[in-house]
Each structure stands twice: as C-alpha cells, then as structure tokens.
Amino acid sequence: MRWHATKPENEETLARVYRDQASRLYWLAFLITEDRTLSVEAVIEVLDRKDSANPFFEDWMATWAKKLVIAQALGAVHVEMQASMLRIGLCHAERSPAQDRVPLLIWNLDSNAPTLQLERVLLGIDLFPRCALLLLVFEKLSVDDVAILLQADKKLVLEAKAVGLVAFVHNLSRCCV
C-alpha cells in the first residue's frame, strides 16, 4: 500500500520527523561536503519531497531521510569522491599491518565533544575515508548500505574506514593534546 499526501496527520508526522532531524542531517551533510551551501541544499532537497508517512513508520522515515540526505550530499561531491577513492586504492598496496592497529572507538556524533573541535578532526580526513568512517562508525550503517551509497566495493569501503580511523585518532591526538 502506498501512502499519499492526502491525510494531514501523515504530513504532520513526516514534517515532525524531518524538523526534529534537520540540524543533525545538516551537520552530517556538512561533514560529507565541507560546504555549508551544499549541505543546506541537500537537506532542503530531502525536506521538499512530497512524500508522506504513516506514524507507524516514523523511525523508518527518520532513517530514510538520513540516507536521502547522505545520498544527496555525496552526489554534490561525486568528482571529489572519485579522486579520493583512487587515492585510497593506490595507498592500499603500500599499507603495513601496523597501520590498522587503532584503539576501539565507540562514539557517535551525539557525543559530548565540542562540535567545532570534532568538525576540525573529521574535516582533516580525506573525503572517502571520512565518509566511510562517518557512515560506518558514527552513523552505524551497514557495510552493504555504505558501499551502495559510496558506489564502491565493500573491501575498499572497509579499507577506507581503517584509513579514516587512523587519521581520526591522529587528528584527535594533535587537536586535543
């Protein structure tokens, strides 16, 4: 069954889901694009959709909105993403096993770290590994979903996550010492 925008309560539910998520979605888009204008455009593009939701599917809609914003933001940096993927692919053969040893980080974007400090740490990471790290570790998306969103194979996504973790820890240690 398909839901249509004819029921005011459905439209209100969707509007509430998007409104409650808008600032978080904007920040996620900014961490992907590094561009405030592109981030706002990505969120607005998703918020302007004429979809509606059944209140039963409210959590699903919040997750779906996040994925739509991620896809929109990634589309805005497609060329840069392709270049970053090539850099990760070329570096893969030169990595040593010691570079994969990173302390386990269990943290999400809602942590208590100051936002600007966390932005500096994350934006200091090359685009592809930053996106792999954001989506896999911080947003807790599946490897399959991230591979689809990043248009990369799962092995390369996992390699990018490892590179992103190493860079994250390195940047964090420089920023917070």
Domain count, the chain: 2
- Please name the residues in contact with 129: beta carbons below 8 A apart, sequence gap of 6 or more: 84, 88, 160, 161, 163, 164, 167
Between CA 164 and CA 169 the distance in angstroms is 9
Q: Is residue 26 part of a domain?
A: yes
Give the tens place of pLDDT for each residue, 7-38. Answer: 556 566 656 666 677 888 899 999 999 999 99
State the pLDDT at residue 177: 54
Chosen domain end from 76, 109, 130: 76
Q: Is residue 1 part of a domain?
A: no
**Is residue 153 very low, low, confident or very high in pLDDT (cuts 50, 70, 90)?**
very high
Whether residues 22 and 55 fall in one domain: yes
Residue range of the domain that includes 146: 78-176
**Is residue 146 very low, low, confident or very high in pLDDT (cuts 50, 70, 90)?**
very high
Within the chain, where are the H helices? 8-33, 36-47, 58-76, 78-92, 115-123, 127-133, 143-150, 154-176
pLDDT of residue 162 exceeding 80, the answer is yes
State the pLDDT at residue 121: 92
